[in-house]
Amino acid sequence: MSAPVETLAPGAARTYPGRVTNQSAPYRATPRIAAFFDLDKTVIARSSALAFTRPFYAEGLINRRSVLKSTYAQLMFLLTAADHDQVERLRAHVTDMCRGWDVEQINAIVSETLHDIVEPLVFAEAAELIATHRAQGHDVVLISASGIEMVAPIGEMLGVDEVRASRMKVVDGRYAGELEFYCYGDAKAEAMTELAESAGYDLSASYAYSDSVTDLPMLEVVGHPTAVNPDRGLRKQAADRGWPILTFDRPVALSGRLRENRKAIVAASAATGIGVATLGALLYYGWWRRRPMA
């Protein structure tokens, strides 16, 4: 059974013990405002892991028979709402599965295929909303449980200011099968709080956008939360709390939409994360089930 959901009053910001929130931060005449965006199903129309199915298989990182045998039972819940225990079992499985993958190979594949694969998946509404926040002088932050090696290049493509994502331990240039940081649940909100402290963001004046009830901590930590394409759990929470609910349904190529001077985010080769493992472990099935057996 999943843990009970903590209820906050509409507009209330969540706080975390031992962390300075915007309420106690020193007074600033012009506080900085950030807009935090989840990635999958919020900014792009499908899983960022699923998007790289074909090139990862082509490079021999995914074995069809072994992946199907070990992960098909978990695929359905991943594509729908998953409770905490299910997510934790998945995390343990995929981090072990990607042990030994070469980091440089992953980064090269993502870099070479990013624009062809991901650019057509970006919601036009998300691109417009990002542009609106930038026009208002807000920083834009992409924050995701997927791996930094995929999220960072996507963030650079979108022209955002900061990226926070999951990171996996690397030993001798290969995944060690252990997470250094899992950007999920409370940890995602804590990453936002830490960034706000270092960058001087006023969280009570900042914005957050997500599709999943597992991102309640992320939404609760800001003054302006919004549900985007929400799952059933988040839709109920948003309705109960009076949060805006948006529907994004127009994925279009970004060509011509992004500003020329894109700000570099985090070097994809510097860190790695769970998104690639999730890709390899789970999500190439949807493509290969439509192909004949070898």
The residues assigned a catalytic role are 38, 40
**DSSP secondary structure letters along 12-53:** PPP--TT---GGGSPP-SS-B-EEEE--BTTTBSS-HHHHTH
Distance (Å, rounded) from C-alpha 200 to C-alpha 34? 10
Distance (Å, rounded) from C-alpha 237 to C-alpha 242? 8
100 φ/ψ sector (left φ>0, alpha ψ -120 to 50, else beta): left
Distance (Å, rounded) from C-alpha 104 to C-alpha 172? 11
| Cβ neighbour number for residue 167 with a 10 Å cutoff | 20
Distance (Å, rounded) from C-alpha 170 to C-alpha 188? 21
**DSSP secondary structure letters along 256-280:** TTS-SSPPP---GGG-B-HHHHHII
| 267, 261 Cβ separation under 8 angstroms | no
- Contacts with 171 (C-beta within 8 Å, 6 or more apart), sequence order: none
| 276, 55 Cβ separation under 8 angstroms | no
